[in-house]
């Protein structure tokens, strides 16, 4: 059986859709979690987020940030604010995953796609969010097929799984539903370029997803 890195095999959205029989839904009501019924943030949370943005822009002004620095400056404090470091959630880093897919040139044989998830949030055994981080030199478009491949590994196919990808300066969310034909949709991109701090939106969405999955597992 052939073994290939996910980053080598799944490099485009079309490849991810073909390998896993994925369909991007046309239903505008498929992914309301990123834009509806979001709770307001506290003044303290807004202050911390403004500090994170200022810190990112300070370091980013001197050049591209490596993935490790993105995690340290932006992602880690954001996850802490979202409550993902505390019960009932568990954080796992550099999680090895395997996906079995058909080799395109030979539909009889199978190949194992291997990869690593940067951050995985788990609540009572349910995969909640695949958090893929990239260096600031990376266009986030390249993360979409990889995140979709990682999300397909979720062992619980009865409930949706949510993902987030970031290069430190931009963020987007993905929802995947594997019941029947797997379907997915993607939120708009949130950026740290505008004067308005869109980290506020990112945190509200993370907290919404966290509370929703927590309610579903009670």
| Pairing relationship of beta strands 106-123 and 89-103 according to DSSP bridges | antiparallel
Looking at per-residue pLDDT, the higher value among 59 and 217 belongs to: 59
Predicted confidence at residue 134, as pLDDT, reads 73
Which domain, by its residues, includes 150?
2-217
From 1-10, 114-123, 166-175, 205-214, the region with the lowest mean pLDDT: 1-10
CATH of the domain at 14: 3.90.1570.30
pLDDT of 133 reads 76
Query: How confident is the prediction for the chain on average, in pLDDT?
Result: 83
User: What's the pLDDT tens digit per position in 128-174?
Assistant: 666 777 777 667 787 888 888 888 877 778 888 898 888 888 999 99
Cis? peptide before 88, omega within 30° of 0: yes
Token look-up 């949510």 returns 162
Predicted local distance difference test score (pLDDT) of residue 205: 96
Which pLDDT band, with edges at 50, 70 and 90, does 77 fall under? very high
* Domains identified in the chain, total number: 1
Please determine, for residue 42, whether its predicted confidence score (pLDDT) is greater than 60. Answer: yes
For residue 20, is pLDDT > 90? no
Q: What is the pTM of this model?
A: 0.84
pLDDT at 31 over 90: yes
Q: Is-contact 39 207, C-beta < 8 A?
A: yes
Q: Is the pLDDT of residue 204 over 70?
A: yes
């Amino acid at each position: 059986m052939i073994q290939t890195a996910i980053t080598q095999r799944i490099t485009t959205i079309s490849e991810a859709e073909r390998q896993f029989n994925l369909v991007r839904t046309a239903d505008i009501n498929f992914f309301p979690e990123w834009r509806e019924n979001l709770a307001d943030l506290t003044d303290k949370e807004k202050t911390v987020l403004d500090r994170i943005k200022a810190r990112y822009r300070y370091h980013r002004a001197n050049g591209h940030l490596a993935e490790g620095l993105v995690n340290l400056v932006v992602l880690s404090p954001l996850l802490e604010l979202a409550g993902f470091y505390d019960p009932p959630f568990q954080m796992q880093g550099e999680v090895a995953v395997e996906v079995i897919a058909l080799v395109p040139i030979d539909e009889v044989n199978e190949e194992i796609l291997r990869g690593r998830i940067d951050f995985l949030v788990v609540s009572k055994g349910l995969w909640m969010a695949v958090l893929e981080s990239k260096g600031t030199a990376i266009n986030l478009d390249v993360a979409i097929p990889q995140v979709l491949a990682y999300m397909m590994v979720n062992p619980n196919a009865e409930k949706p799984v949510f993902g987030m990808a970031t290069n430190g300066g931009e963020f987007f969310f993905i929802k995947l539903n594997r019941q029947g034909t797997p379907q997915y949709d993607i939120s708009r991109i949130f950026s740290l370029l505008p004067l308005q701090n869109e980290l506020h939106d990112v945190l509200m969405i993370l907290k919404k997803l966290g509370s929703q999955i927590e309610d579903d597992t009670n």
